[in-house]
A and B are shown apart, each in its own frame.
Chain A
Amino acid sequence: MRFNLFRQLDGAESGGTAATSPLLAPPHAAHQEPTGPIKIQTRDVSVFYGDKQALFDVSVDIPDKAVTAFIGPSGCGKSSFLRCLNRMNDTIPIARVKGSIRMDGEDIYDKALDPVLLRARVGMVFQKPNPFPKSIFENVAYGPRIHGLTENKTELADRVEQSLKRAGLWAEVADRLDAAATGLSGGQQQRLVIARAIAVEPEVILMDEPCSALDPIATAKIEELMDELREEYCLVIVTHSMAQAARVSQRTAFFHMGELVEFDDTETIFQNPRDKRTLDYITGRFG
């Protein structure tokens, strides 16, 4: 009941007529589907930027073969937490991460573990589409190339094709693989970036507000894609749009002021939240 009401509110907020567009409706009733086993387990993860603590003791179990959404107001730490999962925080000199993050039982912050290897297993898609300023083919081929995943050119071309197909971009770019990736539209670029991540066959794909720079139609396409990808991958998305979280995710975590307030099935979060802050946020009372 509340869930439905909320969805309309959010749609109206992000662009009037879009709310009634069939494109924005969930691809199918995903929320009842079972999720896979636990893929990533975090315990008491805290993130510090210098002296400032951005994240406080976050413990979540992220399931495989499902979409897990992180929602919350700006600056709540959801992106910081996401960046812990592939150790992208390592690239920020002043960032420090405490606590334990295990992927398939393996501590990803173990000193013996090479973050380069981790990032091959945990792909990431950013808020702004960031294709390399090279050709479409080169973008997708880059990962397999640096990781030495293919033996020869035909294999590489096959993999590029497969990845583009899985990202739903093949039909649009098949005849211009040598064209500049930067010439694609924003939505196409974002799917290209997803194809690029898929090409290294990761186990987890992190998406940091992947649709916030896209128009509703492009957004719908990415959401459809997420729904397909979750059959094979563990997807974690950060989103500002609660409607999006509701549409695509099976599990939702609500962050507020660097704390994990609530983590549950998406349906539960949106229809029957336990915490008052969650209720306030999803009904639009703040954030």
Chain B
Amino acid sequence: MTDATLTRAGASGRSTAQLRKSLKRRHARERRFKLYGVLAIAIAIGFLALLLGRIIEQGHTAFWTHTVQTEVYLDPARIDPAYPEGTNFDQLVAEQQLARLGVQDDEAMSASRDMRQLMSAGVAFEMQRLVRENPEVIGDRITVTLPIGADADLYYKGELDGEGEEQFRRLNDRQILWLDQMRDQGRIQGQFNTGLFTRSDSTQPELAGVLGAVVGSALMLLVTASLALPIGVGAAIYLEEFAPKGRITDIIEVNINNLAAVPSIVYGLLGLAVFINWMHLPRSSPLVGGLVLALMALPTVIIATRSALKAVPPSIREAALAMGASRTQAVFHHVLPLAMPGVMTGSIIAMAHALGETAPLLLIGMVSFVPGVPEAVTSPSSALPVLVFIWENASERAFHERTAAAIMVLLVFMIIMNAAAIYLRRRFERRW
């Protein structure tokens, strides 16, 4: 009997030691796993910071631009008050700029050409407008603030310099000299680049803005949301709450899940074939873009809504039905309001996805150069991600910073949408 007790005590002593050993191993494993988790998050944050840092570093200069203040003599001999558009204001301004710098234009007018290049292509438009609105200024000597060209702008920002061989440079020695002189005269002013937000795409980088693309994207999202949300949520409610469960609903469910995984460019092809070639809807329009994106967003909306509906406790349905509510009443009075936060989140994610989608838009012609702001969902339009794509491919150096700026605008657009999602979610949740 004593023997047995001893053995048992010994055995238990051993097992405690074993337990301790294994416990040590288990704790080590837990620490290791936590470390992996922290590492994973650190890497993710690192890449995000790198990405954002790079974009901001490249793009922040695009929000700043320079103007030159100059005195212009509006020579009545060269301006027809009835038709100011006929005047070559570029040349007029360039000549007077040269005069202020004390430079004589040569026979071939190469000096004034060089000076014209330093000025924005928008100078002519601004002068024309000025003269058309105030014809009485013709013959006067007026002081105006005019936008400068993209290359000159980059020079002032320190992005271009006088290094390297002159013939391969965007700015020649003479132009750089003039730019320095103008700055020394105190006529160059830096200011916030409002044009970036008030103008649409242009071949001239200093005139290019994102407004057209922002409006185009907004119109497109409007079309997408007004189609994908009601149809998607409706389909999900029917499938989840009303449809008899069986083979057909199973097949539909599998197919919806598959559709959510179809590459977006395939939706672009579908849109091209159906909406443009067959239904003859206008090409490059937010309408077609919105339709394609709605098709693309539908599966996501349906899946998100269904899972939100599934998450509503069945006791709520039972409670409503037992009260004598009809099925529709049970769903719309109780289940859907409870599922609403989930539905909102899923829908906004789908919309944000649609907002950033580029590939299908390329196929339906939204990649074309559209210099204006779309007036309706049927007018030709650009979209923000497509604008990024176009600008990235542009050769002018000044488009690079604008590409990054457009990306930032796109990101801000998305942040606003997500903030709206969070706000709506909170509001719906508070209503329980």
Contacts and interface: CB of A to CB of B under 8 A. Distances in A.
Interface of A: 86, 88, 91, 93, 116-120, 123-124, 126, 128, 130-134, 142-143, 146-147, 180, 182, 193, 196-197, 200
22 contacts: A88-B322, A91-B318, A93-B245, A116-B326, A117-B324, A119-B321, A119-B322, A119-B324, A123-B323, A126-B318, A126-B322, A130-B319, A131-B319, A132-B320, A133-B316, A142-B320, A142-B323, A143-B323, A146-B325, A146-B329, A193-B319, A196-B323
Given A133-B338, A182-B432, A197 B318 contact: no
Contacts of A182: 432
A120 B324 contact: yes
A119 B323 contact: yes
A182 B431 CA distance: 12
**Size bin of chain B's contact surface:** 20 to 34
Contacts of A128: 315
B334 interface: yes
B186 interface: no
Contacts of B323: 119-120, 123, 142-143, 146, 196-197, 200
A119 B319 CA distance: 11
B324 A116 contact: yes
A238 B12 CA distance: 50
Contacts of A117: 324
Given A93-B245, A142-B333, 6 more contacts: A119-B321, A126-B319, A133-B316, A146-B323, A193-B319, A200-B324
A130 B338 CA distance: 14
B244 interface: yes
Nearest to B246: A93
A53 B324 CA distance: 27
A116 B324 CA distance: 5
Nearest to A118: B324
Most buried by B among A118, A126, A131, A146: A146
Contacts of A200: 323-324
A126 B315 CA distance: 8
Contacts of A134: 432
Contacts of A86: 322
Contacts of B245: 93
Most buried by A among B244, B338, B432: B432
A120 B329 CA distance: 14
A142 B333 CA distance: 10
B253 to A, nearest CB: 15
Interface in B236-269: 244-245
Contacts of A147: 324
Nearest to A196: B323
Nearest to A124: B322
Contacts of A93: 244-245
A123 B322 contact: yes
Nearest to A193: B319
Nearest to A142: B323
Interface in B312-359: 313, 315-326, 329, 333-334, 338
B340 to A, nearest CB: 12
Most buried by B among A131, A133, A134, A197: A133
A224 B326 CA distance: 32
3 tightest A-B CB contacts, nearest first: A120-B324, A124-B322, A133-B432
B319 A132 contact: yes
B245 to A, nearest CB: 6
Contacts of A118: 324
Nearest to B432: A133
Contacts of A143: 323-324
Contacts of B329: 146
Contact of A130 (B318, B324, B333): B318
Most buried by A among B313, B321, B326, B329: B321
Contacts of B321: 88, 91, 119
Given A117-B324, A146-B323, A182-B432, A132 B315 contact: no
B315 A130 contact: yes
A222 B172 CA distance: 94
B324 A146 contact: yes
A182 B329 CA distance: 21
A114 to B, nearest CB: 9
A261 to B, nearest CB: 28
B324 A132 contact: no
Most buried by B among A86, A131, A142, A143: A142
A182 B323 CA distance: 18
A216 B325 CA distance: 32
A233 B325 CA distance: 21
Contacts of B316: 130, 132-133
Contacts of A131: 319
